[in-house]
Amino acid sequence: MNKDQADGSWKQFKGKVKEQWGKLTDDDLAVIEGKREQLVGKIQERYGYQKEAAEKEVKSWEDHNKYRW
């Protein structure tokens, strides 16, 4: 997957991310911009999760939505 494809995928899945993690703001999503580690970090920050818990949630979401970074 090239950068343009990844950018397009992120735009498509951004709404699903917001549905899953409603505490993430539009500004958070702008910072994340398809970067997995940024998503994990923002989930930790907004939900007070440990890194392992945030990683597990993101992995589950990826598998369910078939999203690839």
Structural domain boundaries, residue 33: 3-65
pLDDT digit string (tens) for the chain, length 69 residues? 545 555 678 888 899 999 999 999 999 999 999 899 999 999 999 999 999 999 999 999 999 988 777
Q: How far apart are CA 21 and CA 6, in angstroms?
A: 20
Domain of 30, CATH number, reads 1.10.1470.10
**Counted domains in the chain:** 1
Question: Looking at residue 16, what DSSP letter applies?
Answer: H
Residue 19's CB: how many other CB atoms inside 10 A? 8
* Angstrom distance (rounded) from CA 34 to CA 69: 7
